[in-house]
Amino acid sequence: MAYTIPKESFPGKVHEMALGTGDKAVAVGGGKVLPFHAFEGPVSAKPLVAIEIQDVPPADWPEEVRTPYAAVSDDPAKWAKYCQDELGAEAVALRLVGTHPDRENRSAADAVATVKAVLEAIQVPLVILGSNHAEKDAQVLVAVAEAASGKNCVIGKAQEANYKTIVAAALAHNHKLIAMSELDINLAKQLNILITQMGFNADRVLTDPMCSALGYGLEYTYSVMERIRLAALAQNDATMQPPIAGDVGMYVWKIKEVTAPEADVPEWGSLTERGVAWESLTATALILAGANLLIMRHPRAVDAVRKTVAELV
């Protein structure tokens, strides 16, 4: 007797959106089945990896992830172009950490100049991230959204403390939006509702339920993302149907397993290999949970995830 693979169908669908413009525009999201379940129905666009750059040299990054960018990280435009031309990045994520009041406290005008220079240097989609200072981001992201008008960027992150200002800016200049909550499906749902009540279409939102690194709560992150995806598909919950974003690099490249010197823990092996493996494994877990957009740092980790995705699709 022939074996028939059991199949499950769902009433809901994940929103699909286009990022960027022209020939380099890419699709994110979509699909009516769980990640990579192509045998059950239409799957989403393949997960998109955006390589992270910063507006200031990444002095706070471990040496192992700084080194691949040593020749270009002093200039965000050169760095972005390197990611596109040499690393084959399908998207770039620019984090404006220099605007944080406790860092260099750069002005909104400084951020605008950086964003314009990066946009001139690349053709792939750009994700523009604030410094995660709610008050300062509300100022900076409004200015950069206007500067990037017409480029169909992703702006983020809108949080409960500042979403009104950032949503209005993304709406006015026709960008996509990352909405971040703190590892709680109900908070994610509530923020998405508040955003759509402002007239921002749900199919232009990416949900970021926050990320965590392998060994530091990854199981909880996985379960939250999985529940969001199941709510979108099985329950046909419109508030849970945006694509999911996972900000991997910033959570991985600060933990002890990727920073502890080999001399202190020789049994852990090569420090570089540890970091690459940690970022790769964290990112792979998230795409299996349902993440559609990943923000990553190390080129080798990016390559590893790309290969995994290629095999799965």
Q: How much is the pTM?
A: 0.95
Question: Residue 1 pLDDT more than 80?
Answer: no
Question: Residue 295 pLDDT more than 90?
Answer: yes
C-alpha span between 212 and 216 (Å, rounded): 6
Do 125 and 152 contact (CB within 8 A), yes or no?
Answer: yes
Residue 244 confidence (pLDDT): 98
Section 13-36 average pLDDT: 96
Residue 42 confidence (pLDDT): 87
Do 246 and 294 contact (CB within 8 A), yes or no?
Answer: yes
CA atoms within 13 A on the CB side of 39: 6
- For 231-271, write each residue's pLDDT tens digit: 999 999 999 999 999 999 999 999 999 999 999 999 999 99
Question: Residue 122 pLDDT more than 80?
Answer: yes
Residue 19 confidence (pLDDT): 98
| Closest of 307, 306, 309, 258 to residue 279, by C-alpha | 258
Q: In percent, how much of the chain has pLDDT > 90?
A: 96
- Domains contained in the chain, CATH given: 16-312 (3.20.20.20)
User: Is residue 313 very low, low, confident or very high in pLDDT (cuts 50, 70, 90)?
Assistant: confident
Average pLDDT, the chain: 96
- Residues contacting residue 137 through CB under 8 Å, at least 6 positions apart: 99, 130, 131, 157, 162, 166
C-alpha span between 94 and 307 (Å, rounded): 24
Do 156 and 177 contact (CB within 8 A), yes or no?
Answer: yes
Q: Are strands 48-54 and 291-296 parallel, antiparallel or unpaired?
A: parallel
